[in-house]
Structure 1
Amino acid sequence: MAAAAGVVAAAGSAQQLGQLLRQPGGSLVVVHFWAPWAPQCAQMNEVMATLAKEHTHVTFVTLEAEAVPEVSEKYEISSVPTFLFFKNSQKVDRLDGAHAPELTKKVQRHASSSSVSAGSNDSAKEDLTARLKKLINAAPCMLFMKGSPKEPRCGFSKQMVEILNKHGISFSSFDIFSDEEVRQGLKTYSNWPTYPQLYVAGELIGGLDIIKELEASGELDTICPKAQKLEDRLKALINKAPVMLFMKGNKQTAKCGFSKQIIEIINNTGVDYETFDILEDEEVRQGLKTYSNWPTYPQLYVKGELVGGLDIVKELKESGELLPILKGEN
């Protein structure tokens, strides 16, 4: 059963899907598990139709997840839309959710690698190993889990997050559902077959059972880095430079009119300063309002002390006091 080039095929059974997966030469097959009641699925079907016209050597397939439950169960489809990528009937990648740019990127990556000769397998393994090392070392404490800390997608991952949070441990996470290559590759790399997996300083600590044992023995607190208290973090940020501006955006791109005006005023003084984008960090954005007892942004600090917002800075500029204050002369 061959799908016409540039057209999205529909699979209504496990047999039909099996036939569509058997494409000659190991070419790429992308399967969209969808549901008619989900509007985001309809949008992604349109994206698929566009991609099918651009990538005529790729087979695109839609499969109604709830209509073929045995297939959905086999591939652990727990939400729609979900996209699976196949070569030689073997799953090589996965994408959960309606992420059109990410779908386009994955199709381009896998479609281009389909035409690469088998002799490049060693270099592909090297690339994956380098990528895994980079991810493992992305933070002092890295958790590879199903879902995110806010929305764990399995009971073990949920328990792991709860333990780490209970102990005030600072960690970053990676959703292994978002990348099938990482999901499978990390099992081999770490010689650990299940998730979640916790790494500290680039070394595998283990899964949930190990973490529970370390918690019971009191060793967990000595192994994992503690989260910095918010007040300490705010003090450190405020004192990061003699003149610190907390704003929406950065020096190059202000993301609100008030921030843009205050940057223009400070730039005209010729004084060096650093900025912090409060849009990038909700914890700092909310915490600094309370800490400084100042409800709005931007906020300007000199030598760790709050000067004020845009109105105060304008007044200081008019009175000629701004430059001496920025230079720390007042």
Structure 2
Amino acid sequence: METGGHGCGLRLCCARRERAAGSAPASSPPSGNAPGAGRAAGGAPLRSRGLAGFGSQPLKFVGQRVESVCRLNLLPETEIPVPWTGSLLVVHFWAPWAPQCAQMNEVMAELAKEHPQVSFVKLEAEGVPEVSEKYEISSVPTFLFFKNSQKIDRLDGAHAPELTKKVQRHASSGSFPPSANEHLKEDLNLRLKKLTHAAPCMLFMKGTPQEPRCGFSKQMVEILHKHNIQFSSFDIFSDEEVRQGLKTYSNWPTYPQLYVSGELIGGLDIIKELEASEELDKICPKAPKLEERLKVLTNKASVMLFMKGNKQEAKCGFSKQILEILNSTGVEYETFDILEDEEVRQGLKAYSNWPTYPQLYVKGELVGGLDIVKELKENGELLPILRGEN
């Protein structure tokens, strides 16, 4: 069974509008149990509005409490204590009516046990609308990562494996004193330069071409596909440092952003203007015809496996089995994840007249799927074929 990825959380914008109008959102519990119901007029301190720790021990914070402007830049005059310098703080923006949040709370509880040096807190998104708006919290769950009182990363949606990876990465990375800021900025600029030059045409967007996560990004992808423009993309939600840094690097405050040969072309409005003036086709590189592309891909390596996932992580049982068989032969091979490219996924079925995946190719010729590979192995024919001896 194929899936379209993890859930991306529940939207909050409608709930905010309804709350502003004096009514509870439809997706919330009844008014008596709604988030913040029964709160005293004027509001309670932020701590009592949903800030809580995880793990068997209460959160231990070292340092001064915030007095005027919170060092975490959450809200003025809050009661959020600032963790000790260099430690990682993970803030979970959640809602009690969202089942995804309850699941991720369990994940955070386990992470808290594994990483006692990391502080985990949860913050009810609808209880602090100023914070949610400041950090563009449009859905729950959303996670923000802070270090040295600065936001360093972000994760949108209920992605337990990705949350675990980010916590492990940031918890193990060293902290840097303020004096290192210039050096860090230089490193970031070098990274941004590499990213903008990563392909002849690079699109920095919210989400992926397969799953855009905002209307502007979706429109941009549709225009590029309409004009058969070949491009690579970068999901700015996957890296908060890139998301913020690129705004300064190119002096362009919004997304999506399109680059050609490392130079910023512009956002959606500019691309629409270029399309209307028929200049877009002259500026952006055209994608090769699908048949030519498939021929190149199937000949990319002597042995090519088109599968769901990659060598490190198969995303279906059939792909996992064929990986195990190939690994047992000791023959070098490369893989292509069909879940990352819908055009290749559908086109290869017609190109080779083979309707399912995985598909194994040797020197550009289709060998077959899992069943055929199993038969060849049982007959002792697989290794000679992989070596090109047959």
Q: TM-score range by the shorter chain?
A: 0.7 to 0.9
- 2: CA distance, partners of 1:76 / 1:273: 45
Assess, with a 3 A threshold, how the Cα gap between structure 1 residues 299 and 157 changes in structure 2: closer, same or farther: closer
User: Residues 30-81 of structure 1, C-alpha deviation per residue, up to 9 Å, x if partnerless?
Assistant: 2101122333322322232344445555442211223433432332111111
What SS does the corresponding residue of 1:19 show, helix, strand or coil? coil
- 2: CA distance, partners of 1:251 / 1:66: 42
Counterpart for residue 267 of structure 2: 207
- 1: CA distance, partners of 2:168 / 2:388: 53
**Match for 2:257 among 191, 194, 197?**
197
Farther-moved stretch of structure 1 (197-206 vs 292-301): 292-301
**Match for 2:184 among 124, 130, 135?**
124
> Percent identical across equivalent pairs?
69
Assess, with a 3 A threshold, how the Cα gap between structure 1 residues 108 and 98 changes in structure 2: closer, same or farther: same
- 1: CA distance, partners of 2:311 / 2:93: 44
2:203/2:232 contact within 8 Å kept: yes
2:209/2:218 contact within 8 Å kept: yes
Counterpart for residue 210 of structure 2: 150
Alignment of 1:265-280 (within 5 A): 276-277=335-336, 279=338
Is 1:49–2:109 an aligned residue pair? yes
User: Residues 103-160 of structure 1, C-alpha deviation per residue, up to 9 Å, x if partnerless?
Assistant: 3444455556674322222221122122212221222211111222233333322221
Q: TM-score, normalised by structure 2?
A: 0.64
Counterpart for residue 58 of structure 2: 7
Alignment of 1:152-301 (within 5 A): 152-240=212-300, 246=305, 248=307, 255=319, 276-277=335-336, 279=338, 283-295=343-355
Q: One-letter code of the match for 1:184? A: Q
What SS does the corresponding residue of 1:152 show, helix, strand or coil? coil
Assess, with a 3 A threshold, how the Cα gap between structure 1 residues 304 and 128 changes in structure 2: closer, same or farther: closer
Counterpart for residue 93 of structure 1: 153
Q: One-letter code of the match for 1:236? A: V
**Match for 1:40 among 95, 100, 119?**
100
Q: TM-score, normalised by structure 1?
A: 0.74
1:141/1:198 contact within 8 Å kept: yes
Farther-moved stretch of structure 1 (155-164 vs 93-102): 93-102
Aligned residues: 318
**Match for 1:102 among 162, 168, 181?**
162
1:299/1:307 contact within 8 Å kept: yes
C-alpha deviation, 1:98, in angstroms: 2.4
Farther-moved stretch of structure 1 (302-311 vs 54-63): 302-311
Assess, with a 3 A threshold, how the Cα gap between structure 1 residues 96 and 260 changes in structure 2: closer, same or farther: closer
Assess, with a 3 A threshold, how the Cα gap between structure 1 residues 34 and 133 changes in structure 2: closer, same or farther: same
Assess, with a 3 A threshold, how the Cα gap between structure 1 residues 93 and 239 changes in structure 2: closer, same or farther: closer
1:8/1:62 contact within 8 Å kept: no
Assess, with a 3 A threshold, how the Cα gap between structure 1 residues 76 and 308 changes in structure 2: closer, same or farther: closer
Cα RMSD for the two superposed structures: 4.4
- 2: CA distance, partners of 1:275 / 1:56: 40
Assess, with a 3 A threshold, how the Cα gap between structure 1 residues 248 and 204 changes in structure 2: closer, same or farther: closer
C-alpha deviation, 1:287, in angstroms: 2.4
C-alpha deviation, 1:3, in angstroms: 7.9
Assess, with a 3 A threshold, how the Cα gap between structure 1 residues 22 and 211 changes in structure 2: closer, same or farther: same
Q: One-letter code of the match for 2:58? A: V
C-alpha deviation, 1:257, in angstroms: 5.0
